[in-house]
Amino acid sequence: MSQFYTSVDHFALVPALMLALFGCAVLLFDFFVFPAPRQRKWLVLLLALGIGFAALGLVRQYAFLKSEGLAEFTAFRGTLTIDGFAIFFNGIFLAASLLVALVSYRYLEIEGEHHGEYYGLILLANCGMYFLATGTDLVTLFVGLELMAICFYIMVGFLRLDRRSNEAAIKYLLLGAFSSGFLAYGFSLMYGLAGSTRLADITAALAARPPWDPLVFLAMATTAVGLFFKVSLVPFHMWAPDAYEGAPTTVTAYLSVASKAASFALLVRIFLGPLAGTRAVWQPLLAAVAVATLTVGNLAAVTQTNVKRLLAYSSISHAGYILLGLVAGNPTGIKGIAVYLLVYTFMNLGAFLVLIALRRQQILGEELDDLSGLMHKSPAHAILMLIFLLSLAGIPPTAGFIAKYYIFWALIQAGQYWLAAIAAAYVAVAVYYYFRIVRSMFVSELSEREPLASSFGLRLALGVTGVLTLAIGVHPEPWLELAQNSVLLR
């Protein structure tokens, strides 16, 4: 038996340690060092430092893999695996956390619920996500998932005096706990079948059984249900619109991108790892779920008048597109999932950022009418929103097109022509509801003249997301190379 805590273990753990350490530091400093409301900006700085150190850890891991020519290295005897996939997804999480924290400052002040622990929760949630992307052990994965989820339960209900926020938090908590139960059940079955919690051992054990083994099927089905809840795939999507609408918009943004990306990372790890042998069984199932998700997400979005709710349904439909990458199951599809989640993080975050700018004292700013005539009032916001919406719809030359392109390409490669045609047809439906927002902004008359909320953080975050949404579309090569590493998973 080797040492319990080696330097390799430490190396693999550094980013998570940094996130946890700074997360706890934020919680403590909030009480003891910077208790005054005016000092909260130092907490944001602390958060930025934590994310910076975690990012440094990631960069060093990446450099190590590159310099040694390794595809991956494991730590804690196979509990954590650092590979291109993990580093890529962790990069997404860190970027999302930082952007969300930047815009939250002003937003929470307007909401009147500005508390220091919010920033601690962001860091701790991010810490949970780290284990979702790097973990290759059922227990680690489950604990990571719960850490992330519990932080989100609190953040969704962060507006204590707002009934919608409370309702959203309770719904999310109950359904989330329910889905975690399913997931735990699936995990325990896998453990029972393999006698080990490590994914590599489970993969070997399940491969030895026939694909239609009822126990394997049960393990697959329960795990799938749990994961489908987390990424809001039909028919387990019901919590998403309510939770998205009720949560503070900054949390909605964070939930819709980071939590979704982390859960997809887990989903891909499980389905292409332990469950890879039963591909023949889950592939048609996933195809059906993806089509149902596209249908429900897109059709329900058409009638929404609340933009947050509309974006919630649109994010359900995006989950459907991402899942199609897994249905195709080829390297292009996996790379497509990575590219899609990267692009989706920036474009969806960007769309929510515009809604955050619309939230002002006395004005909720989340109805379709609140966007009326935005082009007159603030052309910069209107044009940025247009870019985000075009990207969400998948119109070139925005980043969203590259993402959808990969999914279509993977499906054609896999010979799934009908799925590709269905997915393509829903692009037209999506354009319809995204352009209802565009119509409001550019054609309708002004509804009110109150200027938009603005802060340095908000402008910076909008700028970054806007530039990236265009840049990944016009010059995708460097980003595709980044994503290329994540295919090494197989």
Partner 1 sequence: MSEHLLSIILFTPLAGMFILLLIPSRRTDLIRLWANIAGFAGFAVSLPLLWRFDKNAAGFQLVERYEWIPSLGARYIVGIDGISLLLVLLTTLIGALAILSSWSAIQEKVKQYYAMFLLQQTGMLGVFLALDFFLFFVFWEVVLVPMYFIIGVWGGPRKLYAAIKFFLYTLAGSVLMLLGILTLYFQHFRQFGYYTFEIAELMKLDLPLGIQQWVFWAFFIGFAIKVPMFPFHTWLPDAHVEAPTAGSVILASILLKMGTYGFIRFSLPLLPKASIDPRIVKILVGLSLVAIVYGALVSLMQQDWKKLVAYSSVSHLGFCTLGIFALNPNGLAGSVIQQINHGISTGMLFLIVGIAYERRHTRAIAEYGGLAHVMPKYATVFAIAMLSSAGLPLLNGFIGEFTILQGAFEANRLWAAIASLGIILGAAYLLWLYQRTMLGQITNPKNLRLPDLNLRELAVFAPLIAWAIWIGVYPKPYFEVLEKPVAEILQRVRPEYWEKASALAAAPLGVLR
Of these, 101, 427, 437, 468, which contacts partner 1 (CB under 8 A)?
427
Q: Does position 420 bind partner 1 by CB under 8 A?
A: yes
> Could you give the dihedral angle defined by the CA atoms of residues 110, 116, 118 and 123, in that order, rounded to the nearest 10 degrees?
140
Report residue 235 as tokens.
């028919």
Helix (H, G, I), strand (E, B) or coil at 378: coil
Comparison of 187 and 408: residue with beta carbon closer to partner 1:
408
Q: Does position 412 bind partner 1 by CB under 8 A?
A: yes
Q: Considering the complex, what minimum distance in angstroms separates the CB of residue 320 from partner 1?
A: 15
Q: Does position 471 bind partner 1 by CB under 8 A?
A: no
Q: Quote the CA–CA distance of 43 and 48 in Å, as a whole number.
A: 9
Interface with partner 1: number of residues (CB under 8 A): 29
Q: Considering the complex, what minimum distance in angstroms separates the CB of residue 242 from partner 1?
A: 29
Of these, 408, 452, 453, 486, which contacts partner 1 (CB under 8 A)?
408
DSSP state of 150: H
Report residue 12 as tokens.
């693999």
Q: Considering the complex, what minimum distance in angstroms separates the CB of residue 409 from partner 1?
A: 6
Q: Quote the CA–CA distance of 134 and 144 in Å, as a whole number.
A: 10
The position carrying tokens 């010979």 is 415
Q: Which amino acid belongs to residue 453?
A: A
Per CB under 8 A, which of residues 439..468 are in contact with partner 1? 439, 442-443
Comparison of 170 and 395: residue with beta carbon closer to partner 1:
395
Residue window 368-397: x/- pattern of binding to partner 1, with contact defined by CB under 8 A: -------x--------------x----xxx
Helix (H, G, I), strand (E, B) or coil at 116: coil
Of these, 166, 188, 447, 484, which contacts partner 1 (CB under 8 A)?
484
Q: Residues for the chain: how many in total?
A: 490
Stretch that binds partner 1, among 51-59, 172-180, 264-272, 410-418 (CB under 8 A): 410-418
> Could you give the dihedral angle defined by the CA atoms of residues 77, 80, 84 and 90, in that order, rounded to the nearest 10 degrees?
-160
Of these, 42, 178, 217, 435, which contacts partner 1 (CB under 8 A)?
435
Q: Quote the CA–CA distance of 332 and 411 in Å, as a whole number.
A: 9
Report residue 442 as tokens.
């550019």
Q: Which amino acid belongs to residue 309?
A: R
Residues lying near partner 1 in the complex (CB under 8 A)? 375, 390, 395-397, 401, 405, 408-409, 412-413, 417, 420-421, 424-425, 427-428, 431-432, 435, 439, 442-443, 476-477, 480-481, 484
